[in-house]
Structures are given as structure tokens and as C-alpha cells.
Amino acid sequence: MTRVVRVDPEHPDPARLAEAGAVLRSGGLVAFPTETVYGLGANALDPAAVARIFAAKGRPAHDPLIVHIAAVDEAARVAAAVPERARALWARFAPGPLTLILPKHPAVPAAVTAGKPTVAVRIPAHPVALGLIRAAGVPIAAPSANKFGHTSPTTAQHVLDDLGAAVDWILDAGPTPVGVESTIVDVTVDPPALLRPGGVPREALEDALGGPVVWRGDVVAAEDVRAPGMLPRHYAPRVPLWLFEGPRAWAREALWQTAAQLARGQGQRVGALVPHADAARLRPLGVVVADLGPEHDPAGMARRLFAGLRDLEAAGVEVILARTVAEQDVGLAIADRLRRAAAHIVRPASRAVAS
């Protein structure tokens, strides 16, 4: 039986965290909020517990997990070395939505890192996540708490919907404040590589390091499994998503015309995941709108993104229309997730190009 336990997001009850920590130490699975998305946690040093994560998610064994610790000085338990660049990034962004790829410590089971010589390490900023790691007294391996390939969960209900009985405990502290996953940076290579844009903007990383961080996400080949989160169609909703990419005015208009054609012309049940300014013109067409909020507030749009996709699925739409946003700050992560969710990318020149 899954136990859903409400906790205060700022001041979680220590007795609850102690109980949840004991569940983790005894090999159980505890889903918990981080500042980005909900994670599905297990004791990172217990191979049997880690195996339960892969089974619950339906995740392939070649996709490694992120190990969560509560402070920089705990990194020595899971990483064989912490390079100067890692310390510089953590000095600025820990705790926070940043994951660093480091050389792996022998104590970390091969199942966690999918046999790689490196390990992904993150110090989350959410008081519940930090309290849980401290209460457990062990590093916690935790992928996003969704079925493999589905949209990441930003509420406890999303976790229940995807994983239900496979989880022992769910700590429910309400919606997660960032809404997209952590930024992943490989600091074992020179220059450091951005493997996944996320809550910490690339601009801020480069500022902290005083040098470039290489973003190869645009050109990554489908067979590259260094970070499977970067593969096309990784963050997929369960209905096809058409992404309109190009100049803002063109994308807005093309999306509206397509919505009109599908909804009015073909009688389809159409969903749209759009900034607030687009919503009013779409609703009269009978389109189900997930409103991302003001376009000048990328943090707000990131927070609403995954819930918006799930709301549209739940509304039973047959197709979801979305358009890209400016790729500054967390906007790069939004654009990246939309691209990976897209079944089709529609651009001005080509009109319809499969992703």
C-alpha cells in the first residue's frame, strides 16, 4: 500500500522525515519533492533498492540515475574526485537545480551509473529533499518519479497517477517551485559540457566558471546515450504534440490557423499549451487551453509546463499545439522539453517536418 504523507514544504515534520528515512534505509522507495520535480528515491548504496526504481519506472538499465546528497562535503562518499570546476559551480549553485557529472566512487553500485565510470551528483534545494537525505543518512538515487518516457511529475498526484502502488511512500509538499529538471553539466570534460538545460541557466554557469559551457543538445545523435534525457521524444505526453517553431508572430498565427482548421474544419478535440497572450483567441475555437502565464516570465512558464501537458492529456484532447518561447535563462530548458515532447515540428519554410 502506498502511503501519501502531507508535509509542510518549508518546515517538514522531523518525525515524518525520520520515518521516511527509515523506509529508505530498509530498501524501500520514497517519492519526494525537490525544487525541480518529484523524485523516486532509493538508497543509492543498495543495489536491490536501486533495482526497484528501474522496475517501478519501466526504465532501461542503460539509463543512469542521479545521486542526491545534502551538502558538498558528502560528495566524497559518491565521487572519486571533486574537480575545482565542480567546487566553483557548487559554491554558487548548491543547493540548487544543478547536477554535476563526476568520476564515480567504487562504493556506488554499477546499477546506479549504468556501468559508467562517472556518477551524476546533485544537492537539491527543497527543504523536504534535504531533510529526507539527512534523515536517511545515505545518498539517495532518484530519477524523476514518472513512468519512463512520460512527462516529469510536479505534484504528488502526478506521481500517484504514474507509479501508484509501486512506491512505498509519497511525501506530498505541493507543487514543485521550478517545474523543469536540473541542469546537467559534465565537468569531467574540458570545456565542461551542458548535457541537459534546466533550472540553472547556461548563462549563469558560464559566468560562474568564467568560460564556455558547450551545449551540444541541438545536434546530439539519436544513438548517443550519454544522457538519454537528451534523446528526441524523451519527455513525451501521451497525445501527439505539434510544436510551432520560428519567429514569434509567425508561430502564433500558424498555431491559431492550425487550431481553427483542426477544431472547426475537422471537428477534432484540440489542446493548446501556450503563453497567456495566445489563450483568449484560441478559446472561442473550442480549444482546451493550458495557460503558461505571461511570456515575459519564463520561470512561471517552466513551473506550469509539465502540469499543463498532463492537464491536456487528462482533458482527452487528440492533439496538443504548442509554440516555442525565447531561449534565454530557463527558456532554453522550456524549448528543449517542448522539442523532446514534439511528434512534429512545424517551421515557416517547411511547414511540416517530422522531428
- Residues in contact with ligand TXA by CB under 6 A are 34, 36-37, 39, 63-66, 97, 99, 101, 113, 116, 118-120, 122, 124, 142-144, 181-182, 184, 195, 226-229
Strands 169-172 and 30-33, bridge-based pairing: parallel
What is the nearest approach in angstroms of Mg ion to the Cβ of residue 152? 5
What is the nearest approach in angstroms of ligand TXA to the Cβ of residue 346? 26
Question: Cα(108)–Cα(85) distance, rounded to whole angstroms?
Answer: 22
In the complex, which residue's CB is closest to ligand TXA? 229
Which residue, 144 or 176, has its beta carbon nearer to Mg ion?
Answer: 144
Which residue, 195 or 282, has its beta carbon nearer to ligand TXA?
Answer: 195
User: Are 78 and 67 spatial neighbours (Cβ–Cβ below 8 Å)?
Assistant: yes
What is the nearest approach in angstroms of ligand TXA to the Cβ of residue 119? 6
Contact partner at residue 317 from ligand TXA, Mg ion, none, CB < 5 to 8 Å by partner kind: none
Question: Cα(216)–Cα(119) distance, rounded to whole angstroms?
Answer: 20
Residues 137-169: b if buried by 16+ CB within 10 A, e if exposed: ebbbbbbbbbbbbbbbbbbbbbbbbbbeebbbb
Strands 30-33 and 66-68, bridge-based pairing: unpaired
What is the nearest approach in angstroms of ligand TXA to the Cβ of residue 254? 31
- Which residue has cell 543509492? 44
Contact partner at residue 21 from ligand TXA, Mg ion, none, CB < 5 to 8 Å by partner kind: none
What is the nearest approach in angstroms of ligand TXA to the Cβ of residue 64? 3
Which residue, 98 or 274, has its beta carbon nearer to ligand TXA?
Answer: 98
Give the three-state DSSP class for 120: strand
Which residue, 57 or 323, has its beta carbon nearer to ligand TXA?
Answer: 57
Contact partner at residue 98 from ligand TXA, Mg ion, none, CB < 5 to 8 Å by partner kind: none
Question: Cα(294)–Cα(259) distance, rounded to whole angstroms?
Answer: 21
The residues binding Mg ion (CB under 5 A) are 144
Contact partner at residue 192 from ligand TXA, Mg ion, none, CB < 5 to 8 Å by partner kind: none
User: Are 244 and 323 spatial neighbours (Cβ–Cβ below 8 Å)?
Assistant: yes
- Which residue has cell 534523446? 231
What is the nearest approach in angstroms of ligand TXA to the Cβ of residue 2? 18
What is the nearest approach in angstroms of ligand TXA to the Cβ of residue 222? 14
Amino acid making up residue 115: G
Contact partner at residue 263 from Mg ion, ligand TXA, none, CB < 5 to 8 Å by partner kind: none
What is the nearest approach in angstroms of Mg ion to the Cβ of residue 229? 6
Smallest CA-to-CA distance from 40 within 25, 26, 24 is with 24
Helix ranges (H only) for the chain are 14-25, 47-57, 84-93, 110-113, 127-136, 156-163, 202-209, 248-260, 276-282, 298-314, 331-341
What is the nearest approach in angstroms of Mg ion to the Cβ of residue 54? 12
Contact partner at residue 243 from ligand TXA, Mg ion, none, CB < 5 to 8 Å by partner kind: none
For residue 97, say if its preceding peptide bond is cis, omega within 30 degrees of 0.
no
Which residue, 147 or 238, has its beta carbon nearer to ligand TXA?
Answer: 147
Contact partner at residue 311 from ligand TXA, Mg ion, none, CB < 5 to 8 Å by partner kind: none
Distances (CA, A) of 25 to 20, 79, 195: 9, 21, 31
Contact partner at residue 131 from ligand TXA, Mg ion, none, CB < 5 to 8 Å by partner kind: none
In the complex, which residue's CB is closest to Mg ion? 144
Which residue, 92 or 226, has its beta carbon nearer to ligand TXA?
Answer: 226
Give the three-state DSSP class for 54: helix
Which residue, 143 or 331, has its beta carbon nearer to ligand TXA?
Answer: 143
Contact partner at residue 142 from Mg ion, ligand TXA, none, CB < 5 to 8 Å by partner kind: ligand TXA
293 Cβ contact list (under 8 Å, min separation 6) = 275, 276, 300, 301, 304
